[in-house]
Amino acid sequence: MLKKFLPDEHVENILDIQPEMLKKRGIKGLVTDLDNTLVAWNEPNITPQLVAWFSSLKKAGISVMIMSNNSEKRVKLFSHPADIPYIFRARKPLPFAFKRAMRIMNVKKDELVVVGDQLMTDVWGGNQVGAHTILVAPIASTDGWATKLNRHLERFILSLMRRKGWLKWEE
């Protein structure tokens, strides 16, 4: 039961994920969450560092997409300046948007990496479709109201995983 929430990797910052590392694994597509993964949940704009990071992925031949449970207005405002395709109101962790992203990017499950800051949406959803999952430390220490309940459940699940010795990093 707990294994469905277990990420394959953990990084402190999304910028720690390098195209060379992904290419070595055969990754051809990257789906990333937006809020508290790329920027704080209340930050509307993409940063120059993220624009450069997305550009480096594209130059390496890795398709990219932002997938968010947020509104189209929020996701489009963020994605548009860097010309990043997106899926809004994805209803993560349900697998439908993840499968849609794979079709759009024309990648198989073993060629896809899903990156996000939440076990309950990003990791669980990515694991359901058989993608490689990377949990990112949340950027902000605060969350929108809808995420607060998930964080309590997440802390409980992480503590169980830690007791079982499944985690290779510290909080």
Q: What φ, ψ does residue 9 adopt, rounded to 5°? A: -145, 165
CA–chain centroid gap for 32, Å, is 4
* Alpha carbons 20 and 40: distance in angstroms, whole number: 26
pLDDT computed for residue 149 by the predictor: 67
* Alpha carbons 152 and 32: distance in angstroms, whole number: 22
Angle 38-32-119 from CA coordinates, rounded to 5°: 95
Angle 85-9-92 from CA coordinates, rounded to 5°: 45
CB 138 within 8 A of CB 13: no
Q: What is the 3-state secondary structure (H, E, C) of the chain?
A: CHHHHCCCEEECCHHHCCHHHHHHCCCCEEEECCECCCECCCCCCCCHHHHHHHHHHHHCCCEEEEECCCCHHHHHHHHHHHCCCEECCCCCCCCHHHHHHHHHHCCCHHHEEEEECCHHHHHHHHHHCCCEEEEECCCCCCCCHHHHHHHHHHHHHHHHHHHHCCCCCCC
For 60-84, write each residue's pLDDT tens digit.
Answer: 999 999 999 999 999 999 999 999 9
- For the chain, the structural domain boundaries read 2-164
In this structure, of 34-38, 109-113, 123-127, 142-146, the range with the lowest mean pLDDT score is 142-146
Query: What superfamily in CATH does domain 2-164 come from?
Result: HAD superfamily/HAD-like (3.40.50.1000)
- Rounded to two decimals, the pTM is 0.88
Is residue 17 scored above 90 in pLDDT?
A: yes
For 80-124, write each residue's pLDDT tens digit.
Answer: 999 999 999 999 999 999 999 999 999 999 999 999 999 989 999
